[in-house]
Amino acid sequence: MNSMQAPKILPWVAKRAGITEELALKLWRRAVSEAEYLSGQTTGSEFSGLAVERFLTLVEDEAGPPAPSLLNPAPQLTWLWRHQTRVSLLSLMAAQNAYRVWQNTWNDLSGLKKAA
């Protein structure tokens, strides 16, 4: 099993979900194990992202549905993680597209592009 360190935010997530830190740590270890199995990796951004996503999903499953009280229900965190991941990917795609436009324009201006 991978020895990836538990995130420093683990106690906060546990408190917000209404579970013990001990259970949160067990869920983290399970998430790391599942991420390793699913990605076939033990390092890298794909593995880390998958581990965090699995952890948040496991925590939400363990916490169950929010209590009917309107006072501080446990936040659902996986949507935030997925949204942040999508925004990051969109930024990378925009940068890549801008580079391609710049490269094509430069090639057109310098005459490096072959005539059709």
Q: What is the pLDDT of residues 1-44, one digit of tens each?
A: 445 788 888 898 888 888 899 999 999 999 999 888 888 888 88
Q: Give the separation between CA 20 and CA 41, rounded to whole angstroms.
A: 29
Using one digit for the tens of pLDDT, what is the confidence trace for 60-104?
888 876 555 544 555 566 666 677 777 777 777 788 888 889 988
DSSP 19: -
Q: Note the pLDDT of residue 72.
A: 54
- pTM score above 0.75: no
> b vs e for 34-67, b when ≥16 Cβ sit within 10 Å of the residue's Cβ?
bbbeebeeeeeeebbbbbbbbbbbbbbeebeeee
Q: Note the pLDDT of residue 113.
A: 55
Residues 6+ apart with CB under 8 A from 112: 106
Look at residue 108 and tell me whether its pLDDT is greater than 90.
Answer: no
Q: Note the pLDDT of residue 4.
A: 73
